[in-house]
Amino acid sequence: MKPYQHIAIRECHEPLVPIPLQQFAVQHPHPYVALGAPYGDRSPYCLRQGVLARLLIAQTALQQHCPGWQIQIFDAYRPLPVQQYMVDYTLEQLVRSHQLTPDHLTAIQRQEFLAQVYQFWAVPNHNPLTPPPHSTGAAIDITLAMADGEPVDMGSPIDELSSRSYPDHYAPAATTTHPSPSHTAFHHHRQLLNQIMCQAEFYRHPTEWWHFSYGDQLWAWLKQQERGEGCVVAQYGRVEGKGGRRKDEG
């Protein structure tokens, strides 16, 4: 178990609602839908109502800093079957990148590769006490888009399995030599993204510059670590039942 999975969940039963996509930049088609992920009649573009309200606050804060810029939504709600599909897909891609075949791995090899995958992907756990963050409707993967609609270069793509995904990878203190102008820009953009999200009370994943959450176990654990509060609980558990419209529009 990861440390944040020990946090208690006190479910508030807030609804999962569609994201008004006209107010954000969005990739079409949804990246996991394009890969064949099994969403069924559920839309990936949904969040808990309170989480969406805070995302809109973050969007306003961004436009005060950079007029015309938008938050670009990569992924939001993710049912357990999709979580399993993406873990399997990522594992296969990782194995093939080492010129190996997934079906011919030894048990030890499989565990070693899975360990790499689980550094960035949550285990698709069916235990309601330890839900993957995205299955709660309280986590979102995002980046920034400029006024002309072009995505901002953040120094690594979302979902990359490497140290470049760590939020402070391009921080001056993490650079052994003088940082290049591009590295400085990458760090500045990551800091800007974090700043606007923090203004809306989100917390960023420790190893993923793109992942933010509000109200789930990871959020509660990060809040506890930052403030030294010993009784923080999560208010969002795994979403049960229907999860919003399947259409990729708000």
Q: Using CA atoms, how far apart are residues 124 and 102, in angstroms rounded to an integer? A: 19
Give 141's contacts (C-beta < 8 A, 6+ positions apart).
73, 74, 75, 76, 134, 158, 159, 208, 210, 211
Give 90's contacts (C-beta < 8 A, 6+ positions apart).
117, 120, 121, 159, 161
Give 216's contacts (C-beta < 8 A, 6+ positions apart).
131, 133, 136, 138, 139, 234, 236
Give 91's contacts (C-beta < 8 A, 6+ positions apart).
102, 113, 114, 117
Of 160, 208, 226, 229, the active-site residue reads 208
Q: Using CA atoms, how far apart are residues 68 and 135, in angstroms rounded to an integer? A: 31
Q: Using CA atoms, how far apart are residues 225 and 232, in angstroms rounded to an integer? A: 10
Task: Based on the residue annotation, tell me whether 249 is a catalytic residue of this protein.
Answer: no
Q: Using CA atoms, how far apart are residues 159 and 163, in angstroms rounded to an integer? A: 11
Strand order in the sheet with 25-26: 25-26, 70-75, 139-145, 211-213, 203-204
Q: Using CA atoms, how far apart are residues 210 and 147, in angstroms rounded to an integer? A: 19
Which of the 8 DSSP states describes residue 171?
A: -
229 forms bridges with which residues in the sheet?
A: none
Sign of the four-CA dihedral 222, 226, 230, 236: negative
Task: Catalogue the active-site residues.
Answer: 208
